[in-house]
Amino acid sequence: MRVHAQRAGALLGGLMFPAWSMADWTLNMTPGVTGTSNEIFSLHMIILWICVAIGVVVFGVMFWSIFAHRKSQGHKPANFHENTLVEILWTIIPFVILVVMAIPATATLVDMYDTTESDVDIKVTGYQWKWQYEYINEDFGYFSNLSTPREQINNRQAKGENYLLEVDNPLIIPVGKKVRFLLTANDVIHSWWVPDFGVKKDAIPGFINETWTRVDKPGTYRGQCTELCGKDHGFMPVVVKAVPEEEYNTWVAEQKVAAQKERELTQKDWTMAELMERGEKAYQTACAACHQADGSGAPPAFPALKGSPIATEDMAAHIDIVVNGKSGTAMQAFGGQLSEVDLAAVITYERNAWGNNTGEMVTPKEIFDYKNQQ
Amino acid sequence: MARPARSNARVITWCMAGVIGMFAFGFALVPLYDVFCELTGINGKTGGRYEATVGADADVTRTVQVQFLAQNGPGMPWTFRPVTRSIEVHPGEPVTVNFFAQNPTAVAMVGQAVPSLSPSEGTLYFHKTECFCFNQQPLAAGESTEMPLVFIVDRDLPAHITKLTLSYTLYDQSKQAKVSGTVRAITTTNENG
Amino acid sequence: MSAVADTHAQDHHHGPAKGFSRWLLTTNHKDIGTMYLIFSFAMFLLGGTMAMVIRAELFQPGLQIVQPEFFNQMTTMHGLIMVFGAVMPAFVGLANWMIPLMIGAPDMALPRMNNWSFWLLPCAFLILVSTLFMEGGAPNFGWTFYAPLSTTYGPPSTTFFIFAVHIMGISSIMGAINVIATILNLRAPGMTLMKMPLFVWTWLITAFLLIAVMPVLAGVVTMMLMDINFGTSFFDASGGGDPVLFQHVFWFFGHPEVYIMILPAFGAVSHIIPAFSRKPLFGYASMVYAVGAIALLSFVVWAHHMFTVGIPIAGQLFFMYATMLIAVPTGVKVFNWVATMFRGALSFEAPMLFAVAFVILFTIGGFSGLMLAIAPADFQYHDTYFVVAHFHYVLVPGAIFGIFASAYFWLPKWTGHMYDETLAKTHFWLSFIGMNLAFFPMHFLGLAGMPRRIPDYALQFADFNMVSSVGAFMFGATQLLFLFIVVKCIRGGKEAAAKPWDGAEGLEWTVASPAPYHTFVTPPEVK
Q: Look at residue C34 and tell me whether its pLDDT is greater than 50.
A: yes
- Quote the percentage of chain A above a pLDDT of 90: 48
Radius of gyration (Cα) for chain C, nearest Å? Answer: 23
Q: Which residues contact A302 (CB under 8 A, 6 or more apart)?
A: A290, A291, A292, A330
Using alpha carbons, select from A30, A25, A22, A23 the residue that is nearest to residue A195.
A30
Calculate mean pLDDT across residues C14-40: 88
Three-state secondary structure call for residue A184: strand
CA distance C269 to C263: 10
Mean pLDDT of chain C: 93
Is A223 inside any structural domain?
yes
Calculate mean pLDDT across residues A253-267: 81
Q: Domain check: are A96 and A185 in the same one? A: no
Beta partners for C417?
A: C495
DSSP string, C169-223: HHHHHHHHHHHHHHHHH-PPTT--GGGS-HHHHHHHHHHHHHHHHHHHHHHHHHH
Mean pLDDT of chain A: 86
CB-nearest partner of B75 from A137, A327, A374: A327
Determine which one of C2, C151, C172, C478 is catalytic. Answer: C172
Window 221-260 of A: residues touching C by CB (8 A cutoff) are: 222-235
Which of these ranges, A338-347, C91-100, C442-451, has the smallest mean pLDDT? Answer: A338-347
- Position C100 scores a pLDDT of 96
**Chain-chain contact of A207 with B172 (C-beta, under 8 angstroms):** no
- CATH number of the structural domain spanning residue A272: 1.10.760.10
Q: Domain check: are B138 and B89 in the same one? A: yes
Calculate mean pLDDT across residues C73-97: 96
Which of these ranges, A28-42, A359-373, C110-124, C220-234, has the smallest mean pLDDT? Answer: A359-373
CA distance C386 to C507: 42
**Chain-chain contact of A324 with B118 (C-beta, under 8 angstroms):** no
Q: How many CB atoms lie within 10 A of CB B60?
A: 10
- Position C419 scores a pLDDT of 96
Is A147 inside any structural domain?
yes
Three-state secondary structure call for residue A243: strand
Mean pLDDT of chain B: 78
Q: Look at residue C269 and tell me whether its pLDDT is greater than 90.
A: yes
CB-nearest partner of A163 from C242, C458, C466: C458
- Position A15 scores a pLDDT of 45
Q: Domain check: are B106 and B166 in the same one? A: yes
- Position C297 scores a pLDDT of 95
Using alpha carbons, select from A183, A189, A125, C239 the residue that is nearest to residue B111.
C239
Query: Residue type at A108?
Result: T
DSSP string, C262-324: THHHHHHHHHHHHHHHTSPPTTHHHHHHHHHHHHHHGGG-GGGGGGGG---HHHHHHHHHHHH
CA distance C157 to C138: 6
Is A3 inside any structural domain?
no
- CATH number of the structural domain spanning residue A198: 2.60.40.420
Confidence grade of residue C458 (pLDDT, cut at 50, 70, 90): very high
- Position C502 scores a pLDDT of 92
Q: Domain check: are A254 and A297 in the same one? A: no
Q: Domain check: are A252 and A140 in the same one? A: yes
Domains and CATH numbers, chain C: 22-235 (1.20.210.10), 262-512 (1.20.210.10)
Domain that holds residue A146: 120-260
Q: How far is A187 from chain C (nearest CA, A)?
A: 8
Mutate to test the interface with A, among B63, B78, B103, B163 (most CBs of A within 10 A): B163
- Quote the percentage of chain C above a pLDDT of 90: 89
pLDDT, tens digit (0-9, with 9 covering 90-100), for C90-122 = 999 999 999 999 999 999 999 999 999 999 999
- Position B58 scores a pLDDT of 76
User: Would you say B75 and B172 are in contact if contact means Cβ atoms under 8 Å apart?
Assistant: yes
Q: Look at residue C35 and tell me whether its pLDDT is greater than 70.
A: yes
Q: How far is A17 from chain C (nearest CA, A)?
A: 11
CA distance C199 to C93: 13
Q: Which residue has the higher pLDDT, A314 or A161?
A: A161
Three-state secondary structure call for residue A167: strand
C172 is catalytic: yes
**Chain-chain contact of C444 with A28 (C-beta, under 8 angstroms):** yes
pLDDT, tens digit (0-9, with 9 covering 90-100), for B31-53 = 888 777 766 655 555 555 545 55
Rounded to the nearest 10 degrees, the angle between the axes of helix C88-103 and helix C158-185 is 10
- Quote the percentage of chain C above a pLDDT of 70: 97
Q: Look at residue B191 and tell me whether its pLDDT is greater than 70.
A: no
Structural domain ending residue among the three candidates A195, A226, A260: A260
Domain that holds residue B31: 1-40
- Position B5 scores a pLDDT of 57
Q: Domain check: are B91 and B173 in the same one? A: yes
Q: Which residue has the higher pLDDT, C240 or A173?
A: A173
What are the angstrom distances between the C-alpha of C34 and each of A162, C2, C399? 52, 22, 18
Confidence grade of residue C244 (pLDDT, cut at 50, 70, 90): very high
Determine which one of C257, C349, C378, C508 is catalytic. Answer: C257
Structural domain ending residue among the three candidates A215, A233, A260: A260
ipTM for this prediction: 0.90
- CATH number of the structural domain spanning residue A54: 1.10.287.90
- Position B140 scores a pLDDT of 87
pLDDT, tens digit (0-9, with 9 covering 90-100), for B49-72 = 545 555 567 778 888 999 999 998
Name every chain C residue with its beta carbon within 8 A of the beta carbon of B184: 231-233, 239-240
Q: How many domains does chain B have?
A: 2
Calculate mean pLDDT across residues C481-510: 94
pTM score = 0.88
SS3 sequence of C23-40 = HHHCCCHHHHHHHHHHHH
Beta partners for A244?
A: none
User: Would you say A7 and A153 are in contact if contact means Cβ atoms under 8 Å apart?
Assistant: no
Is B168 inside any structural domain?
yes
Confidence grade of residue B179 (pLDDT, cut at 50, 70, 90): very low
- Position A312 scores a pLDDT of 85
Quote the distance between the C-alpha of residue C166 and its chain's center: 18
- Position B130 scores a pLDDT of 81
pLDDT, tens digit (0-9, with 9 covering 90-100), for B72-91 = 888 787 889 899 889 999 98
Q: How many domains does chain A have?
A: 3
Which of these ranges, A63-72, A255-264, A289-298, C275-284, has the smallest mean pLDDT? Answer: A255-264
